[in-house]
Amino acid sequence: MYYSKNKYFVRECIQNTLSQLGYFYKANKANKKKVKDYFNSLPYFFFDNETQNLLFKTIEKSDFTSYIDKHSSFKVLCYKIYKDFCKRYDISFSSYSEFYKDIENKTFSHDYYIKKEKQNNIHSYIVFLLIVSLIVFYYLLTKKNI
């Protein structure tokens, strides 16, 4: 079965995963081992071969084992993988500060989700007002012709 890919969805998944991983990572023996396993298996969470291959090559190129000893260097590694993947995937990417600011907003801020909810509702209100105004306009136009 062929899965159609949406580059923006793939970018968002990679960004959410890597920014969360980099933001909350603590360098200890168990985490170092698990992070190695995670990076080796991450490409296989995507269904199409092109994305898997690009992500695999990007992770392989990054030599991630030299970055897992400190939290700060691991954050840089996660952003570097994200940025390199986006370049190879030919899609825009966020800056380092936006990369981690997004995860802070999503993780700790209820306002972020309230804002998203309002944005979704505002579209409905605009469509409703447009329909009402068209009905009023039509009514006035027909009234004028009579």
Higher pLDDT, 107 or 75: 75
Q: What is the CATH number of domain 7-108?
A: 1.20.120
CA separation (Å) from 70 to 22, 36, 53, 64? Answer: 11, 14, 28, 12
Question: 2: pLDDT confidence band, cut at 50, 70 and 90?
Answer: very low
**Of 75-79, 101-105, 122-126, highest mean pLDDT:** 75-79
- pLDDT-wise least confident of 32-46, 66-80, 111-125: 111-125
Return d(Cα 68, Cα 75) in angstroms, integer: 9
Residue-wise pLDDT for 25-56, tens only, equals 998 999 999 999 999 999 998 888 888 999 99
